[in-house]
Amino acid sequence: MTLLLKPITRLSLFQTHFQIINNNPRARARAISVSCSWSHEAHKIVREFDPKIPIEKAITPPCSWYTDPSFYAFELDRVFYRGWQAVGYTEQIQEPRDFFSGRLGNVEFVVCRDDNGKIAAFHNVCRHHASLLVSGSGKTSCFTCPYHGWTYGLNGELRKATRISGIDDFSINDFGLVPIKVATWGPFVLLNMDNEILQKDNIDTDNVASEWLGSSSELFSLNGVDTTLTYVCRREYIIECNWKIFEKVSIQSAEGGSKQKEDDRLGSKAFYAFIYPNFMINRYGPWMDTNLAIPLGPRKCLVVFDYFLEASFKDDKAFIERSLADSEKVQMEDIRLCEGVQKGIESPAYSTGRYAPNVEKAMHHFHCLLYDNLIN
């Protein structure tokens, strides 16, 4: 398992939101006050873990990292609203007018491909009265708000605004959808919510790979993580645990040999990678599955599994069903473990734990990366 760290910038989604409310002094002051309050409390909690202590003597992060609302809010701002985050795959927007939507923390987003084939992403929020524009995925020529019918093009421009008669100082050009930077790498769609990067018109694919995968992008390609795979299906699980617990507990491995059958689900070669902070790629035999842990609250997360398969196996329905059934069994076991750990963490009998140095170096490294991300 490989742990990879992305460079962290100091700008946050709060600043993007700040731009939207900067004409309302009262709202701006309230947002700053709330941000400072949870930031101060969360910093205290972060410092309860010391990454400088070697793993043989180290104490795990305190239970508040998995339960405290202020820490959760701080974590969203420092970890998930900065840098590139995997949110989907290119096959979801393969053709013009395709779109898919999602949520990361408090951010509702929509990703689409316009008639010219250009990919764009926006906050999935109408600029009139904040209704969500779309849900799920599909195909559309425009985004029409279900509340009052404001209509936006796939480039985010406001095309139609209803109920605006009598409004002073209104310019239709000022009320387009709020953009989010989007990029692709291999089969994956990535979003970056940093305000700073929104000012750049073009995104260098090599830079995205470097920021997201560090120096290991070539290693991913060499191990079959690419666009030649066929998308099979998605499985989603809502788990009653903090997102970090899923990273902590769900450990998969495979061992293969030269005598394995050609259609064996695992094959003779496996490549497992963890991309900080919440994305896992598992490439084994003809399969690739990705695991995305999306925080829904201090004690809840959504885990999304997407399955891909080498094209030569895509018509073997019996093989696919058998493989997915095996995977489902593993996920059910993981869910029970994760939810049990969350309950234990919330017990008054637990505050911190210890690491098993020989087998939990990756976990310790993950906690150290998270600490650096939160403290800086």
pLDDT in tens, 56-104: 999 999 999 999 999 999 999 999 998 999 999 999 999 999 999 999 9
Give the chain's mean pLDDT. 85
Q: Where are the alpha helices (H) located in 140-263, listed in sequence order?
A: 205-213, 217-222, 243-249
CATH no. for residue 116? 2.102.10.10
| H or E element that contains 32 | helix 25-46
Domain-embedded: residue 229: yes
Residues 211 and 253: their CA atoms lie apart, in Å, by: 27
Domain-embedded: residue 210: no
Please report the pLDDT score of residue 260 as a whole number: 44
- What confidence category does residue 218 fall into, taking pLDDT thresholds of 50, 70 and 90? confident
Backbone phi, psi, residue 24, to 5°: -125, 95
- What confidence category does residue 341 fall into, taking pLDDT thresholds of 50, 70 and 90? very high
Same domain, 78 and 170: no
Same domain, 265 and 353: yes
Domain-embedded: residue 181: yes
Domain-embedded: residue 251: yes
- What confidence category does residue 36 fall into, taking pLDDT thresholds of 50, 70 and 90? low
Same domain, 356 and 226: yes
Domain-embedded: residue 216: no
Range of the domain at 287: 47-82+222-375
Residues 68 and 71: their CA atoms lie apart, in Å, by: 5
Which of 177, 193, 209 marks a domain boundary? Answer: 193
Tokens of 179: 């953009």
Using only the alpha carbons of the chain, give its radius of gyration.
22
Mean pLDDT of 177-188: 94
Same domain, 124 and 71: no
- What confidence category does residue 251 fall into, taking pLDDT thresholds of 50, 70 and 90? very low
Tens-place pLDDT, residues 276-314: 999 999 999 999 999 999 999 999 999 999 999 999 999
Mean pLDDT of 212-220: 85
- What confidence category does residue 3 fall into, taking pLDDT thresholds of 50, 70 and 90? very low
Domain-embedded: residue 40: no
Of the chain, the percentage scoring pLDDT greater than 90 comes to: 67
**Above 80 in pLDDT, residue 146?**
yes
Strand partners, 271: 283
Same domain, 284 and 175: no
Same domain, 99 and 244: no
- What confidence category does residue 213 fall into, taking pLDDT thresholds of 50, 70 and 90? confident
Tens-place pLDDT, residues 16-30: 343 444 445 554 445
Of the chain, the percentage scoring pLDDT greater than 70 comes to: 82
Regarding beta strands 84-89 and 188-192, do their DSSP bridges make them parallel or antiparallel, or are they unpaired? antiparallel
Please report the pLDDT score of residue 197 as a whole number: 54
CATH no. for residue 262? 3.90.380.10
Which of 143, 176, 193 marks a domain boundary? Answer: 193
Same domain, 183 and 108: yes
Same domain, 314 and 288: yes
Same domain, 328 and 227: yes
Same domain, 55 and 134: no
Same domain, 132 and 257: no
Domain-embedded: residue 141: yes
Same domain, 315 and 181: no
* Lowest model confidence (mean pLDDT) among 3-17, 108-122, 218-232, 296-310: 3-17
The CA-atom distances, in angstroms, between 324 and each of 6, 253, 306, 348 are 32, 16, 11, 38
Domain-embedded: residue 217: no
Q: How many domains does the chain have?
A: 2
Regarding beta strands 143-144 and 151-152, do their DSSP bridges make them parallel or antiparallel, or are they unpaired? antiparallel
User: Angle, nearest 10°, between helix axes 25-46 and 13-21?
Assistant: 160
Secondary structure (DSSP) of 353-369: -B--TTT-HHHHHHHHH
